[in-house]
Structure 1
Amino acid sequence: MGFSDLDSLSDVVERKGYDDNSVTGQTLGALLDRQLGWLRGSNLEDSMPLGKVVASLVVLLATDTEGVEALGGSLAIGASDTDGALIDLDTCQQNSSYSTILQSSIQNLRILSSTTPKPQFIITPLNESHVQAAVICSRQHGFQIRVRSGGHDYEGLSSVSDIPFIIVDMSSLRSVDVNVDDQTAWVQSGAAIGELYYRIAEKSRKLGFPAGVCDTIGVGGHFSGGGYGFLTRKYGLASDNIIDARIIDVNGKILNRESMGEDLFWAIRGAGAAGFGIILSWKIKLVPVPDVVTVFILNRPIEEGASKLVYRWQHIADKLNEDLFVRITISSDIANKTINAAFESLYLGGVDELLQLMEQSFPELGLKKNDCTQMSWIESIIYLYNLQSDKGLEVLLEKNQRKSFYKAKSDYVKEPISEIVLEGIWERFRKVEVPVMILTPNGGKMKEISEQETPYPHREGNIYEIQYLAYWDGGDAAANENINWIKELYSYMTPHVSKSPRAAYANYRDLDLGTNENCHANCPEAMDWGHKYFKSNFERLVQVKTKVDPTNFFRHEQSIPPLTI
């Protein structure tokens, strides 16, 4: 299909029985005129693959398909639903708004250099059929698809590719439907977790969900890779609480849990769904939360015994009552020229109970009543992520990204790290401006779930997970300095973390672990990073991938490969 086909699109309207004087006919006519005008004014040629795929998308979406199907390699137009929803062709590279839209949800500025590959165009679907059309047309015309929910992928794999690609930006598909009676919710993949929390609290202050703290993370990617949060020790990961999903497969079909089968449903709950299809929405199981929770953030610089406190924390973090979550954020305090360990906690109960538990388990921290604050669970999200509390709960609906240049890595720890090793970490922290380590405890519900229950395997036997981060202000020299620094710290930690494999968290994407060359790989090439993320579950994931997407259409630099391509 080329541009010449578009000149006779009025035939489509006529074949479907629409009168030029009807509302539907007028709507279609206006939409087609708009798209034809843009196409004729663009620099795209009829013979170009991009021209062909745009032309195909216009035909499909100007009539808004329901259940778009690939029939004998051709595109079939389904029943019309003229709600005015089209792909926004203004997001092609030739348009002045292109860069704004491209950058709108990218959190890591490291991937926004002038040499970074850019998508040919960005599709912002307004309903599910638009996503189907994008899949079918891209597959026909040889374009790679990158799916973007919240834009938080640490290596930018939702927004960047070295081969010709388009972005399907799910940000307009963000509805949240909460059912208080059966304690479930359907949430579309373009919603952020802050929106999800807000919508739950709108309906009930007695329900919550165990996902992350950063309010702008998109649920599409976050849930599919695991999803840590302050409720993890009580209820497990976000992915452990998914009970159904809607996904578009390689053929453009919409599947739910029943129609996709348990193997694919298993795979998308921990291995990242972008290598298997496009998640439209998740059905999640909500969890009970008390009327009152207690929070504290207690800072301890190294001059006040932070090393001993971190060392002691390692012995109790995964053994605390499952209602109590205490993580540590270690950072450089530039103003005071020191290293600070912040003990950040959520307790599902009142302050008096918390103080009693802390006195029994971790008296060394010296927690006092005036260090603690009682509030509702939804308010704790705002407090723990340091959002502006004076804006009320509506701050969770804001879409402002905290953008920065950074590089991240991850580890899992099975035995406490000695104070001497911790001192070595502090020494390294003094060499760059904004180093961060976040220590997230395991235990509780996490150790009760088997390694094979979902693709996420880092359960019993792990005391805590480490996230390493290095931030900088920009520039090649600063980038090289900080990336080399985090690599050296990662090397320093080798003897003190998990082994065979040295495990990593898939949601903290790290391309240093290995990539699929040119987005393709055979299994031996992917096994190293695959086992770090998924351990023995990697082999089952390969089998699932081979079954549902044998030609590897849905792929990126660290997606699960099929057995053969």
Structure 2
Amino acid sequence: MGSSSTSAVLSLLSILLLVPWVTSTSVEESFLQCLSLHSDPSSPISAVVYSPNNSSYLSIYRSSIQNLRFLQSDTPKPLFIITPLNESHVQTAVICAKENGLEIRTRGGGHDYEGRSYVAEVPFVIVDMSNLKTITVDIENNSAWVQAGATLGELYYRIAEKSNVHGFPGGVCHTVGVSGFLSGGGYGYMLRKYGLGADHVIDAHMVNANGKILNRETMGEDLFWAIRGGGAASFGIILWWKVNLVPVPPVVTVFNPSKTIEEGGTKLVHRWQYIVDKVDEDLFMRANLELTNTSSGGKTIKVSFSSLYLGTIDKLLPLMNKSFPELGLQREDCTEMSWIDAIKNIGGFPNNTIDVLLNRTLQDKRTYKVKSDYVKEPIPEFVFEGIWKRFLQIEIPVMRLTPYGGRMSEISESAIPFPHRKGNIFKIQYIVNWRQNGTQEIKRHINWIRKLHKYMTPYVSKSPREAYLNYRDLDIGTNNKGNTSYSQASIWGRKYFKNNFDRLVYVKSKVDPGNFFRNEQSIPAVTAW
């Protein structure tokens, strides 16, 4: 045994000494021994393995947890956290977790709404990809290779370094991980112009359940289809994504007018439904519904229209006056800027330089619960009145209504696993935030959002009641621990994927028949297909 290999073994043995509850036959010891056996001596994995007794363990564990609901003292924590520095570390983690019956949770930006990238009810290991964040932008070929640990903000920044007329149709929360974003579909303020982020993935590298690295050619078109919107964590660990860039004009226009319900906000949002999916695809107008303070110290509802137009004010105003004159948009309501500045502005950092997009920790961490719906017929005005009454029962409620139409209506429901295309006017994101954590507060706020969701049942999609995977919601159904049945997984699976669920099960059963990559809402593997 060479000196470097001996050093790796000793390093892993030192981790064992930090875990006093380890016995000579424990899974933990066996896992570490496996890591040592498979570790590349030139880059020993021992340097990036953290046990609960390691001084860095908690800080690494907490580093990208965005939902404070999962920082309770009784939240199950991983046996180990691995922060790979190269692809071989990911391969070794998969091989050894599988060999020792441990589940893997793969974490990028940590934005999974139900914490499934860092929480499990069974013994598990976190593979935290945040060190793997290289981005290579190729302007000549309108593409970029993005490592799985990169954030959307980092991708946007690297594109802007090279060009002011190229962009990517991603979201405006810059700390979201690229990999989770793309594997669930992923949308942003250019949704109506260019579709989803996942619609622009043209290649990927991943580690499969056998620890092998695959690319698009070697994984085959079925698996390549599945990981673009079907939840890549069901199939493996993504290492790289290759994406197409999209053209953006040198000048775009941002506007965000708002009205309280006393100022006519209810009628405005009601009218918005009738035009928002039919306007020019260069225009994206999201309606945000939230509480605001009154001058007398009370509370009321504010309706705002957070918007991006891929063009100048001079082109925007005639379009708005024709399609949505009720809003009364004026030149002074609008600001022209570059696309990259618009991303920063809409994302909540108008006064920062674009360097803010590289900051992974600046985004506020909150305690929250989220649910989703899709709307195919305009919601009656009286329903909004009922929403306002419910908003006034809680401290920090929000509803975000994201418009569809445009390019989203042109792409087939089966092009990728994400099926929510033609026929949708808008998507609803329900959010309830709260400041004081604790069991009672969690119950109170979750019960509130469940009641709001139930109230909306007659006015949203049916059979199935559709939901968006990246707004993960365990209320709509979960798997059994270990293996689960097709019928049980179908309860939640058809809400996320509609008829695409069957093809996802077929792919899963073919590429991971042992169901190694699993979680509470992973695609099941079935023996007879």
Aligned-pair CA distance for 1:517: 1.3
Is 1:333 aligned to 2:292, yes or no? yes
Match in the other structure for 2:360? 399
- Matched length: 522
Aligned twin of 1:60 = 38
Task: Give 1:277-296 correspondences, 5 Å limit.
Answer: 277-296=236-255
Query: What is the distance in 1 between the residues matched to 2:513 and 2:8?
Result: 37
The equivalent residue for 2:265 is 306
SS of the residue 1:171 aligns to: coil
Q: After TM superposition, give the deviation of residue 528 of structure 1 in Å.
A: 1.4
**Aligned partners of 1:131 and 1:159: how far apart in 2?**
16
Residues 514 and 205 of structure 1: is their aligned pair in 2 closer, same or farther, counting only changes over 3 Å? same
Query: Contact conserved, 1:224 with 1:270, CA < 8 A, in 2?
Result: yes
2:343 matched to 1:389? no
Render the CA deviation track for 1:52-108: whole Å, top value 9, x for unaligned. 101211332251xxxxxxxxxxxxxxxxxx25664423x211123211111110111
CA distance in 1, matches of 2:521, 2:36: 32
Partner SS state of residue 328, structure 1: strand
Q: CA deviation at 1:113?
A: 1.1
Q: Deviations over 1:219-276 (max 9, x none)?
A: 1111010101001110000000000000111111111111100000001111110000
SS at match of 1:247: strand
Q: Does 1:343 align with 2:318?
A: no
Per the normalisation by structure 2, the TM-score is: 0.96
Residue in structure 1 matching 2:402, options 440, 450, 456: 440
Q: What is the correspondence of 1:333-372 to structure 2 with a 5 Å cutoff?
A: 333-334=292-293, 337-372=299-334
For 2:270, what is the secondary structure of its paired residue?
A: helix
Larger-Rg structure: 1
Deviation string 1:262-319 (CA, Å, 9 cap, x unpaired) is 0000011111100000011100000000100000111111111111100111001111
CA RMSD of aligned residues (A): 1.4
> What amino acid is the match of 2:371?
K
Q: Name the SS of the counterpart of 2:205 in structure 1.
A: strand
Instruction: Write the deviation string for residues 293-347 of structure 1: whole angstroms up to 9, x where unpaired.
Output: 0001111111111111001110011111001100011111145511111101100
Q: Scaled by the length of structure 1, what TM-score is found?
A: 0.90
**Structure 1 residue 38, shift from structure 2 partner:** 3.6
Unaligned runs of 5+ in 1: 1-10, 14-24, 64-81
Summarize the Cα distance change of 1:479–1:40 in structure 2 as closer, same or farther, 3 Å threshold: closer
Partner of 1:22: none
Q: Which residue of 2 aligns with 1:36?
A: 13
Partner letter of residue 230 of structure 2? A
Is the 1:109–1:403 contact (alpha carbons within 8 Å) kept by the matching residues of 2? yes
1:536 correspondence with 2:499: yes
Gaps spanning 5+ residues in structure 2: where? none
| Residue type at the aligned position of 1:394 | D
Aligned to 1:554: 517
What CA distance in whole angstroms lies between the structure 1 residues aligned with 2:262 and 2:483?
50
Structure 1 residue 370: Cα displacement: 0.5
Compute the displacement of 1:475 (Å). Answer: 2.4
Matched with 2:414 is 452
Match for residue 92 of structure 1 among 48, 51, 63: 51
Measure how far apart 1:388 and its partner are.
5.1
Does the residue aligned with 2:470 lie in a helix, a strand or coil?
coil
Which one is further off, 205-214 or 42-51?
42-51
**Which one-letter code corresponds to 1:485 in the other structure?**
W
Instruction: Go from structure 1 to structure 2 and tell me whether the alpha carbon gap of 1:519 and 1:371 turns closer, same or farther (over 3 Å shift).
Output: farther
Give the corresponding residue for 2:123. 164
The change in CA–CA distance for 1:56 and 1:328 in structure 2 (over 3 A counts) is same
Q: Is contact 2:261–2:302 with CA below 8 Å preserved after alignment?
A: yes
2:61 pairs with 97, 102, 108, which one? 102
Measure the CA separation in 1 of the matches of 2:219 and 2:40.
29
- Does the Cα contact within 8 Å between 1:87 and 1:123 map onto a contact in 2? no
Q: Which residue of 1 aligns with 2:211?
A: 252
Alignment equivalent of 2:423, drawn from 450, 457, 461: 461
Judge conservation of contact 2:11–2:47 (CA < 8 Å) in 1. Answer: no
Task: Tell me by how many angstroms 1:40 deviates.
Answer: 3.9
Letter in 2 for 1:184: S
